[in-house]
Structure 1
């Protein structure tokens, strides 16, 4: 999870870089300030073939959103309709009312939170608003899903932005991925190094987490960023934590626990929570149905 970085805030203000996030990544203030000062990568794009079929060249910022303290993305599921209310995906620990407690599941909670919608180059082109928190938890996974007041069709017609599709199959080790931060307007690229049976941080435990290779050195404000499969353009996970200073299983220092209970600490390595299990829990009209066949998300 992410903790406040007071020193980074001061450093960034002095440098003229703006405010640091209220929820911060598991890295030191010095690292956060230094990384924030690095120029963002050139915008990446998608093009179409002569036949009109979309060909994914590289991941860009289109569909990413910025929150007050985190990152997120406008998402849809394979069976979502253009007339459905759009959804925004971020972390459970980015919820505006505070971290859900271990074992807590929040559904249909009123919210009017706003999100800054980005275009492909990372420019903010509009503001989206939530109507409610459809689902939020930090148990087994670390997700919040907001339902918006706008449909997918309205967003596309108003801003020319389509939602990112959440893959409904398990990600694969070795897959090239991009972590797209709407907060920092920065894209981190690496690969899926492997999967963690249990990732434990403080009182929370997450199942079957994604472990990045070391080049995805995500920082404060990247919480909730979509993890995008470079080959398909689909969301396969949501960025959420990393081990900051080598402590074992403490807040901001998650540890890996295998099936036998053996603990491994990987200082400086970052993680995400898989999202392939989410589509089965949303039915017609993007309505949450935790009793649906195949839905394994924790229930209240």
Structure 2
């Protein structure tokens, strides 16, 4: 789990305590030449990301969300303030007053958002917590000029160029989707169809819950959650890959994220959770 405890301290010691986190360039649009049309990549910076007390996260919307809907914040299940959910546990509708630091494109904190509910949280099959805040997308936009990040509702693709944006560290990691893991086992938890990064995304503690953004579309395709730190086999902070035949592979230094393309189908009008909605495959309580 990429929480900022001993793992983060160790990583900082290795990197050097004087190291400066990478900060994204100012938010500027990229224009294609009219004489030589080419694909225009999305600008990926810190706008719409949030910092938590122990993790990273982002303000998200689904393809069918309305500007007047209550804004949602996405992070990991293991970042839940009441403690990590047990294997097989699903939490819905739990009261919360958690606060989030809303960041602008340069990574500066411009506001504090507050939750009133844990809409959904689990570490079964995936590793997500979704909070409902006390404000709307429209109010955030009008007050701070910041739009939410849109969740992609189709399966990510191997080879896709991605950025992992940590609001906790104000640091952006760039790499590609290396592939997908049938089962990722970590301690008591098992995650299904996880995203494996190429080695350039060497995420550390505190990056848990960071949005994984497709650099071509600007959409969130996964949520960063863990990595194998010490080369151990299937232990906490040392997840292992298990294929359909039960074969185990350990990749020390490689990091992972959980897919979120299946989440939009579980939310209906008004950003309301409906685990019985058609197409919803999230684990149920």
Q: TM-score, normalised by structure 1?
A: 0.89
Please tell me whether residue 249 in structure 1 is matched to residue 234 in structure 2: yes
Aligned-residue offset at 1:4: 5.8
Please tell me whether residue 127 in structure 1 is matched to residue 112 in structure 2: yes
Report the equivalent of 2:260.
275
Please tell me whether residue 40 in structure 1 is matched to residue 25 in structure 2: no
Tell whether the 8 Å contact from 2:71 to 2:134 is kept in structure 1 after alignment.
yes
Q: Give 5+ residue unaligned stretches, structure 1.
A: 10-26
Please tell me whether residue 63 in structure 1 is matched to residue 48 in structure 2: yes
Please tell me whether residue 81 in structure 1 is matched to residue 66 in structure 2: yes
Tell whether the 8 Å contact from 1:3 to 1:252 is kept in structure 2 after alignment.
no
Q: Secondary structure at the match of 1:145?
A: strand
In structure 2, the CA distance between the partners of 1:221 and 1:39, relative to structure 1 (3 Å rule), is: closer
Counterpart pick for 2:147 among 162, 166, 169:
162
Please tell me whether residue 194 in structure 1 is matched to residue 179 in structure 2: yes
In structure 2, the CA distance between the partners of 1:3 and 1:112, relative to structure 1 (3 Å rule), is: closer
Following superposition of structure 1 onto structure 2, how do residues 121-270 of structure 1 map, counting pairs within 5 Å? 121-270=106-255
Aligned-residue offset at 1:41: 3.5
Report the equivalent of 1:12.
none
Aligned-residue offset at 1:2: 3.4
Please tell me whether residue 111 in structure 1 is matched to residue 93 in structure 2: no
Q: TM-score, normalised by structure 2?
A: 0.93
Please, what is the CA RMSD of the aligned residues?
1.9
Q: Secondary structure at the match of 1:280?
A: helix
In structure 2, the CA distance between the partners of 1:4 and 1:129, relative to structure 1 (3 Å rule), is: closer
Aligned-residue offset at 1:8: 5.8
User: Which digits, 9 at most, give the CA deviation of each residue in 1:58-111, with x for residues without a partner?
Assistant: 311000000000000000000000000000000000000000000000000000
